[in-house]
Amino acid sequence: MTDASTNMRLKLPITCFILEIIIIILFGVLVQYDEGTDAKLWHDRNHSSHSDYDNDFYYRYPSFQDVHVMIFIGFGFLMTFLQRYGFSSVGFNFLIAAFALQWATLMQGFFHGMHGGKIHIGVESMINADFCTGSVLISFGAVLGKTSPVQLLLMAIFEVTLFAVNEFIVLSVLGAKDAGGSMTIHTFGAYFGLIVARVLYRPNLDKSKHRNSSVYHSDLFAMIGTLYLWMFWPSFNSAITAHGDDQHRTAMNTYYSLAACTLSSYAMSALTAHDGKLDMVHIQNAALAGGVAAGTAGEMMLTPFGSMIVGFVAGIISVLGFKYLSPVLESKLKIQDTCGVHNLHGMPGILAASFKCLLVSVCVTSGFILKLPIFGAPPDTICFEDSIYWEVPEEETGHGNQLTTVRTEETEKLSS
């Protein structure tokens, strides 16, 4: 499966090299250690009253690592549910996340206060960069299987930049509180992705329909992603809240919101799915909606009681979205949302916020730029297929052919 238009031999290396060199130069010019990471600043400050054990590293880094696992393992494996798109799900997730966190360091530093013309970085900026990256990966979920890595890198440039602007408006200008980033991360990422998916609408996508589904072991790989997102969501929501009771409370509220959400997701899945059987898509996604929903208010004295109600409702809404809203989105609004990010990140996030409208036009622009034919997007006939961009072991291609043969026979039977 090779085609001149999807060939990445020059497009991907050139894009990566140019972006990375620009980033390195900007880091050289603009970026400095903050007082927690700079030897001189830390020891000057330390001289007076602080000990080395007071370094913020010890109070943020474990949360940072949990968030980091969510970004690379959580999002990466959540998307491996597709039968022939596992390399791309994990591998493109890896690439665009590694890029986005660097670009986010620059954009967030630029918009959230330079110090004497310099961006100061430490563990807190690393968490913020990972958060912004999360937003890009949510959008990736909406366009999964239909985009080339070059398109994804471009999308990341636009989205990270816009994310920093949006975050600045929501948090600094409007003064809103959004500890777990329901508004700035999830809702933003979901609707950005949906708008891009709309602009990239493919009327003939059903030609790739047989690949847009899971196989047994691909669903188990996806559960690795789901569970890491679920387990570490308390760390995500509490990672940059104020130290002390705030951080403690946020983590606990999220823990109970997720637990309640899991029960309502399973209930709704059995209720709505075929023959009363549970649907892996619901379990992999809806059970996480409680984390999104608890994101904005998690820091407050919400009480576990309040958190559980929020999570309970989020699970119900999310399953209903997968069941009834996603087909409508595709047929009426022409939005092909591969991972159903609208149901996991969009609606649960919207429970908390709706400041996004003014940014829509910019998103549309991004989508149209991505649509230019020069970025090597796959044709409709071979979406959701690793072998366009990856070397796939040979016997598997054979296996794929077998599957195709079986399916072709079935198709012939149906059409005869």
Show contacts with a second copy in window 116-175 (CB under 8 A).
Answer: 121-123, 126, 149
Out of 165, 169, 176, 309, name the contact with a second copy by CB under 8 A.
309
Applying CB under 8 A, among 76, 145, 321, 349 the residue interacting with a second copy is 76
Contact range with a second copy by CB under 8 A, out of 98-106, 163-171, 176-184, 356-364: 98-106
The number of residues that bind a second copy (CB under 8 A) is 137
Quickly tell me which residue has 């940072």 as its tokens: 64
Three-state secondary-structure class, residue 207: helix
Closest CA to 77 of 236, 186, 226: 226
- The interface with a second copy within residues 321-380 (CB under 8 A) comprises none
HEC sequence for 90-112: HHHHHHHHHHHHHHHHHHHHHHC
C-alpha angle 193/194/200, rounded to 5°? 90
Choose between 214 and 365: whose C-beta lies nearer to a second copy. Answer: 214
Supply 17's token pair.
């090299």
State which of positions 234-293 bind a second copy (CB under 8 A). 235, 242-249, 251-252, 255-256, 258-260, 262-264, 266-268, 270-271, 273-280, 283, 287
Binding residues among 208-237 for a second copy as defined by CB under 8 A = 213-217, 219-221, 223-224, 227-228, 230-232, 235
Burial class (CB in 10 A: 0-12, 13-18, 19+), 48: exposed
218 φ, ψ to 5°? -65, -30
Cβ-contact 150, 12 below 8 angstroms: yes
Give the Cα separation of 379 and 392 in Å (integer): 19
Place of tokens 């079935």: 410
Candidates 94-102, 160-168, 198-206, 359-367 — which segment interacts with a second copy by CB under 8 A? 94-102
Return the number of the residue (7 or 365) whose C-beta is nearest a second copy: 7
Instruction: Compute the least distance from the CB of residue 303 to a second copy, in Å.
Output: 7
Which residue type occupies 4? A
> Should residue 95 be labelled a site residue for a second copy when binding is judged by CB under 8 A?
yes
Candidate ranges 90-98, 139-147, 323-331, 352-360; the one touching a second copy (CB under 8 A): 90-98
Which lies closer to a second copy via its Cβ, residue 245 or residue 354? 245
Q: Which of residues 35-74 bind a second copy (CB under 8 A)?
A: 36-39, 41-43, 46, 51-59, 61-62, 65-66, 68-69, 72-73
List the interface residues with a second copy, window 13-32 (CB under 8 A).
Answer: 13-17, 19-20, 23-24, 27-28, 31-32
Residue 269 burial class via C-beta count within 10 angstroms: exposed 0-12, middle 13-18, buried 19 and up? buried
Number of CB atoms found within 10 A of residue 276's CB = 9
